[in-house]
Amino acid sequence: MSNLNVVGKPIPKLDAAQKALGRAQYIQDIKLPEMLYGKILYSKFAHAKIININTSKAEKLSGVYAVLTGKDVPKKMKMGFYKDNPPIKKDKVCSFRDEVAAVAALSPEIAEKALSLIEIEYKELKGIFDPEKAMEKESPLVHEYHKSNVLKLPWKLHYGDVEKAEKESDFIVKEKFKTTWVTHCCLGTSGAVALFDSNDNLTIHTNTQIPSLAQKDFLEALRSMGLENKRVRVIKPTIGGGFGSKLDTYAYEHIAILLAHKTRKPVKIIFDRKEEFKATSTRQPAIIYIKQGCNKDGKLTFRDIKMVLDNGAYTSWGATTPSVMMMPITSLYRVENVRYKAKCVYTNNTYSQAMRGYGNPQATFAIESNLDMLAQKAGIDRIEIRRINQNQPGDITPQGFKISSCGLSKCIDKVEKELKKDCKKQENVGTGIASLIHVGGGARIYKSDGCGVILKMDDYGKVDIFTGGTDMGQGLDNITAQIVAEELGLFVEDINVVHSDTDICPWDVGAHASRSTFVAGNAALGAAQKIKEKILKFASKILDASIKDLILRDRTIFVKDNSEKNIPPKSIAIDKLLRKAHFSPNGTMLMADYFYDPDNENMGKDFKGNMSVTYAFGVHGVKLTVDKETGKVEILDYIAAHDVGRAINPLLLEGQVYGGVVMGLGYALTEEVMHKNGENMNADFRDYKLFTAKDAIKIKAPVIETNDKYGPFGAKGIGEPGCVPTAPAIANAIYDAVGVRIKDLPITPEKVLAALKEKSLQE
Amino acid sequence: MSNLNVVGKPIPKLDAAQKALGRAQYIQDIKLPEMLYGKILYSKFAHAKIININTSKAEKLSGVYAVLTGKDVPKKMKMGFYKDNPPIKKDKVCSFRDEVAAVAALSPEIAEKALSLIEIEYKELKGIFDPEKAMEKESPLVHEYHKSNVLKLPWKLHYGDVEKAEKESDFIVKEKFKTTWVTHCCLGTSGAVALFDSNDNLTIHTNTQIPSLAQKDFLEALRSMGLENKRVRVIKPTIGGGFGSKLDTYAYEHIAILLAHKTRKPVKIIFDRKEEFKATSTRQPAIIYIKQGCNKDGKLTFRDIKMVLDNGAYTSWGATTPSVMMMPITSLYRVENVRYKAKCVYTNNTYSQAMRGYGNPQATFAIESNLDMLAQKAGIDRIEIRRINQNQPGDITPQGFKISSCGLSKCIDKVEKELKKDCKKQENVGTGIASLIHVGGGARIYKSDGCGVILKMDDYGKVDIFTGGTDMGQGLDNITAQIVAEELGLFVEDINVVHSDTDICPWDVGAHASRSTFVAGNAALGAAQKIKEKILKFASKILDASIKDLILRDRTIFVKDNSEKNIPPKSIAIDKLLRKAHFSPNGTMLMADYFYDPDNENMGKDFKGNMSVTYAFGVHGVKLTVDKETGKVEILDYIAAHDVGRAINPLLLEGQVYGGVVMGLGYALTEEVMHKNGENMNADFRDYKLFTAKDAIKIKAPVIETNDKYGPFGAKGIGEPGCVPTAPAIANAIYDAVGVRIKDLPITPEKVLAALKEKSLQE
């Protein structure tokens, strides 16, 4: 392992130049012959009955090819985890983002004009926008057929005996925390181009992180349209950001499909920025009631959490974030007695989706804020309480997670050392830390957590690898290429990674759960190992040497120098060897396929099961100052230490951490999708306070390598962790600086000021 | 074999609807961002020195991005089999199609205008246009550095003892035959789009039949430009006809590469029809001196052939057609003593290339015309002499060809029966027949005759197959899909064939030598068999049945009814089985790769070797009438019987035969690229007399199935044979009708009239 030539090197992104030159093809760039442009009309109300729709004027507009309303949507075409969301609504709208009509026309302008000609008569209904209120009996129902606004979802666990542990605890802190909507702010807005061939097979170019699962969704859509036994090809163009926003299929994709089928032409739907803010799905907001206890020694005795999640009007993956929130709740630090219960509640707000961390930032905000309060109450140092309870290699957590490697202890040491470098206490300056656990070896949330890979080599020593893994900007192409190059003794420029086309690439469950480096990496490694075996076997014949004496390096197969036997070192260039293998009797070319499905477990009914083969850990530490006059927080120092197993590419790894932390800082301090009675009030970058380049701070990102035995070259996934513990680290540091505890995000200057004022009134 | 469900069915071309709808993407349709348009300037003389080229005016024209002349071409950038052809000529032009400059500009119009601004000063040289004269010592040299106009090529063989056999023969006929230039007349004209990425890797969309060999050529081109260790991706768009014209790389492709590299933009070069006629390569013209002998019983005693081939000014595959001419010369009918010698001679004419049949039509024209004359001389029935000498299964021919299956005898019977249906002898009506042998099981003319295939199945029972085989309109996609569907118990619509992209598809030597059905078919079958094995193994577990009792049919795996054991018949749908395999612990998805390189042999120095694993045979019979006033030939009946092993798709097979015969009829009767001192005089469809739809006749195409043991489901290749024996069958029938023997092609009314006139003078 010490002798790696490609893995571990900070190789810039393979597609960087193409992107810089403007040659990467984004969905916006795709233009097909005869293509039409689709546009969607959204509801004018948060909650209303549709009395009548008149599309006749729109249909008569020159250049309009099709107008769709809810009655054109097949009954069985429903989207999302709960199948409660038709792509166009028919009798009733339940949120401002509800689709009520769609148009395909020769140009986006004509389509837009056509939308303005559609006349809709609504009867407004009383809306419900607070999930806790929505649980009350007298509240209006978002969906009458559902009888209750509370979803029938099984988010409930209890391990050990929380009530007994609570009674036996020396210290207990009970608190309420709150998080709100934030959104992914992908620089590339959403879009799709759908077209049918003459046999009603569908090709759809779409911004997705889940080509294989999207294919499944679209096959279902076709079946709902009466198109049985058809083929769906999903092609993902270059995408400008994913962050979980593309983990589910959207109404615009289904509408593009319906329009393409009706018009028999390719139909393109592209979101503008306003639509991107209003009609894509946010991070799941949560109201969190938490109680934690410890004994005199600081050992955690129990953790008891209840949550209410604002589900919005429809159900996508946001409603399933509790399944991931369970991870920090049951497994961040050693805690034997755990209880958790979450309710997802329909409201007339926007609905949520996956977003980097998938519930973990929400849960960790509550846990780590509350832990600081508990430490204070118990009179134990904040860092010390974390050391006392830290996870260890070999642990099996209450949920059944098997901790293989664990660098949490080293991360705590590292962050502590950095934070204490300058230990003079200054006024209004504080430090805070928070830890994280996250899946780092896949996450079995679907029936398969697998990734397929096909690899072929040509006569020139070049590799084409078709991977199920999806590069959405995170750099999976590099990871794949570096792993294959390392294994085969090649250079990254010898490896061509083909991805994101379901016709070409084998199945993969998608780019989520920080799983790609680990799962797609292991799949690539498996295929490369199969090829390597063939190379070695053939080389051993050609070089008249034992396989164990052969080394692949620098595009060459070398025989280890064996001076004892007095054999001069021999070698053959790999391209020459490949040509020998090809151009000989019964010649062959080297190809291999590999399907890697990690050895993790679906959670059982009690939510027990080793969801991931290995887990990533990290600790964030922050030093900041609070301006007591303005409430403004200024970050002075930020350290984000992560146990990543091994850095396949330190450059990209740091990029992931920096990006994650900056996203976490936005979550902590500035970002919020503001809703007023269900209506998005800040659907632009002026009013949505994204953390931008000018706000970005210098982040130290020390890498702790624990060389996980299951990871490809020891690596774990690290896509999400960067944004997980940022908010609590900051909340803890603010408390340390000025003595106020902010319990709902974002921690705006207004909230800090208000808390300072309240504090001074109490004093 | 009797129970085939998909193989043997006349399934229409899978891409027919896409083509009919205008959605197939031809090279003409490809448009890339920032694309420039290239144009080529050709020589004004057949033979001249270039004294000076002034490009300054062209360079100054607005919209011009690059102007190239010979001095911009790397010294080592040479094309063709003999590497004598730089893509732009520098000091000297040797034919009218010589490229002297090229331009890339914003539009084709600007590029054209720029060409007109290039000033070239030539000094004309004496040209040489007759290959036999060019062999004379005092003739001007086409290439001074070559010292002689005769190419140093090894086309020479002698098996048995021809001189002895000649002495011992009872009858001998010695004759001279002549064939001229004809061209492929692809409806889609030639073209390419080249572009470089930021790392100087090349992608080229180009009309080619040999993606993998073109890749090799272009890699060499890059190396000549100093670009080492780069990647070349060759993508073949839908092409409108190949027929051998796209078996070599052309100057326009190299020029597109040079222009793309110089401008750093995609550059597209598309031929107009005139250019297509003038600057693509024709069938190789030949002057053939033939002597054949037989004994009193009609048994062939020897065959002695000398040829002079007009090589034109440069050397592409036309110069290698003698290697294929050897096939009919040594192996059409049983003949033990064979001698053959061919000289390729430089002239200032156009140079030739591969064209359907690859020399076989030329050689067979001489052999089969001469054979009729020999039969007459020996007083033996024309059909009888063919029966006496017919090839038989198990034969090993003098060249070492091993005849596995052979339906020649049955073909003769079939054609005789058809021709004799109406046996009243009418005035000026005659019949003629001619036979053919052709490679039907690959042709090892390159170091590998292989084809790679990768196959993957999804969760829905659908197959994606990446084949090295190239569909150029002949319908290989169908053949591949039918073979895979048959083997896996699926329907063709379940099979998606991905081809013609070197990044995706494994290596294949190219679409030539009628090898695709056999070689690519066997490769597809091999991969399907590997998948089938996995399916059966898994199904045997699921269905609790022995593998040998399982049948794949109608997308289902059935257990054979076994009433003895009283087990009720069981089954499982294939998609369900695949999902079971995928979504289970240690789940996997089915993928397989296969590289099939047929067990044929490269010819040795003496040109012996079993070039093909099996051989196709055929007999064409024609009944026609000759108008003695006009010399015009009218075909009354045409039978083309072929031993195809097995018809994988009878519809496409008939299409191949019809198309081949019509091409053969043009070759026989109307087509000729007319040259006057090296200049093409009929570069358009008005003056080039292509056999068109209105000339086409009803052709009977009986299929003889010999079920070859090496072929996929018994099939042999049949792409070329249709045009091989057409001309001699017609020449023989004309002789039978009116007693004149036309020995040079095409058999125009003028030639027939002249012969009739000469005959009447002699009588």
**Cα dihedral angle (B210, B212, B217, B219), rounded to 10 degrees?**
150
Interval B206-252: pLDDT, tens: 999 999 999 999 999 999 999 999 999 999 999 999 999 999 999 99
For helices A360-378 and A726-738, angle between their N-to-C axes, nearest 10 degrees:
30
B252: tokens are 């326009």
Q: Which residues are within 8 A (CB) of A220 and not within 5 positions of it... i.e. 6 or more apart?
A: none
In chain A, what residues touch B593 (CB-CB under 8 Å)?
454, 456, 591-593
Spans of chain A, pLDDT less than 70: 1-2, 423, 562-569
**In sequence order, which ranges of A7-103 are alpha helices (DSSP H)?**
16-20, 56-60
A199 contacts B493? CB cut-off 8 A: yes
Q: Which of A234, A504, A586, A610 to mutate to test the interface with B (most CBs of B within 10 A)?
A: A504
3-class SS of residue B727:
helix
Q: Which residues are within 8 A (CB) of A97 and not within 5 positions of it... i.e. 6 or more apart?
A: A42, A43, A278, A279, A350, A680
A450 contacts B582? CB cut-off 8 A: yes
**Nearest-angstrom CA–CA distance, B147 and B140:** 10
**Nearest-angstrom CA–CA distance, B88 and B549:** 65
In this prediction, residues B340-345 reach a mean pLDDT of 98
pLDDT score of A586: 83
pLDDT score of B530: 98
Q: What is the CA radius of gyration of chain A?
A: 27
**Which amino acid does the sequence have at A656?**
Q
- Kind plus residue range of the DSSP H or E element containing B309: strand B300-312
CB B35 within 8 A of CB B267: yes
3-class SS of residue B388:
helix
A504 contacts B496? CB cut-off 8 A: no
Residue A299 to residues A111, A335, A409, B366, B471: CA-CA distances in angstroms?
Answer: 63, 8, 16, 100, 71
A582 contacts B588? CB cut-off 8 A: no
pLDDT score of B425: 79
A99: tokens are 């689709």
In chain A, what residues touch B583 (CB-CB under 8 Å)?
447-448
Gap from B521 CA to chain A (nearest CA, Å): 16
A78: tokens are 């429903």
A462 contacts B216? CB cut-off 8 A: no
Q: Which of A29, A199, A493 sits opposite B199 (nearest CB)?
A: A493
Give the strand pairing for A675-676 and A191-196: unpaired
Interval B689-718: pLDDT, tens: 999 888 888 999 999 999 999 999 999 999
CB B290 within 8 A of CB B367: yes
Q: Which residues of B341-350 are buried (b: 16+ CB within 10 A; e: fewer)?
A: ebbbbbbbbb
pLDDT score of A1: 45
pLDDT score of A565: 63
Across-strand partners of A615? A439
Place of tokens 């006024």: A427
Residue B19 to residues A538, A717, B16, B22, B209: CA-CA distances in angstroms?
Answer: 45, 46, 5, 5, 19
Interval A425-462: pLDDT, tens: 799 999 999 999 999 999 998 999 999 999 999 999 99
pLDDT score of B1: 45
Residue A709 to residues A52, A195, A272, A704, B585: CA-CA distances in angstroms?
Answer: 62, 45, 45, 15, 20
Q: For domain B450-596, which CATH number applies: 3.30.365.10, 3.40.1550.10, 3.40.30.10, 3.30.565.10? A: 3.30.365.10
Measured over the CA atoms of residue A93, residue A97, residue A103 and residue A104, the dihedral's sign is negative
B220–chain A Cβ distance below 8 A for any pair: no
How many other C-beta atoms are found inside a 10 Å radius of the C-beta of residue B378?
A: 21
End-to-end, the C-alpha distance of chain B in Å comes to 59
> Which architecture, in CATH terms, is B31-125+190-270?
Alpha-Beta Complex (3.90)
Q: Which residues are within 8 A (CB) of A148 and not within 5 positions of it... i.e. 6 or more apart?
A: A141
Give the DSSP per-residue string, A271-340: --HHHHHHHS-BPPPEEEEEEEEE-TT--EEEEEEEEEEEEESS-SGGGGHHHHHHHHHHHSS--SEEEE
A10: tokens are 């900070």
pLDDT score of A564: 63
Output the furthest CA–CA distance in chain B (Å, rounded).
93
3-class SS of residue B174:
strand
CB A741 within 8 A of CB A626: no
Helix, strand, coil share (%) of chain A residues, nearest 5: 30, 25, 45
Gap from B100 CA to chain A (nearest CA, Å): 32
**Distance from chain centroid for Cα A604:** 23
**Nearest-angstrom CA–CA distance, A363 and A365:** 5
B118: tokens are 């290039």
pLDDT score of B3: 84
Band (B12; pLDDT cuts 50, 70, 90): very high
**Cα dihedral angle (A311, A312, A313, A317), rounded to 10 degrees?**
-50
Q: CATH 3.90.1170.50 spans which residues of chain A?
A: 31-125+190-270
pLDDT score of A652: 96
Q: How many residues does chain B have?
A: 763
CATH dotted code for A16-23+450-596: 3.30.365.10
* ipTM entry: 0.94
Pick the residue from chain A with its C-alpha nearest to B264.
Answer: A21
Average pLDDT value for chain B: 96
**Nearest-angstrom CA–CA distance, B506 and B452:** 5
B466–chain A Cβ distance below 8 A for any pair: yes
Chains A, B: CB pairs < 8 Å = 124
pLDDT score of B695: 87
Q: How many residues does chain A have?
A: 763
Q: Which residues are within 8 A (CB) of B183 and not within 5 positions of it... i.e. 6 or more apart?
A: B245, B277, B280, B282, B283, B355, B671, B673, B688
Q: CATH 3.30.365.10 spans which residues of chain A?
A: 16-23+450-596, 286-391+401-444+603-762
**Which amino acid does the sequence have at A102?**
A
Q: CATH 3.30.365.10 spans which residues of chain B?
A: 286-389+407-444+603-762, 450-596
Residue whose C-alpha is closest to residue A612's, from A602, A626, A623, A622: A602
Pick the residue from chain A with its C-alpha nearest to B496.
Answer: A503
Residue whose C-alpha is closest to residue B309's, from B286, B340, B341: B286
Band (B762; pLDDT cuts 50, 70, 90): confident
Q: For domain B286-389+407-444+603-762, which CATH number applies: 3.40.50.880, 2.60.40.420, 3.20.20.70, 3.30.365.10? A: 3.30.365.10
**In sequence order, which ranges of A16-157 are alpha helices (DSSP H)?**
16-20, 56-60, 108-116, 131-134
A507 contacts B231? CB cut-off 8 A: no
Q: Which residues of A395-407 are buried (b: 16+ CB within 10 A; e: fewer)?
A: eebbbbbbbbbbb
Place of tokens 């000498």: B389
Whether residue A746 is preceded by a cis peptide bond, meaning omega within 30 degrees of 0, is yes
Q: What is the pTM of this model?
A: 0.96
**Nearest-angstrom CA–CA distance, A604 and B600:** 58
Q: Which of A454, A522, A613 to mutate to test the interface with B (most CBs of B within 10 A)?
A: A454
Q: Which of B450, B504, B583 sits opposite A504 (nearest CB)?
A: B504
For the domain made up of A286-391+401-444+603-762, give the CATH fold. Aldehyde Oxidoreductase; domain 4 (3.30.365)
A220–chain B Cβ distance below 8 A for any pair: no
A163: tokens are 């009530």
**Which amino acid does the sequence have at A353?**
Q
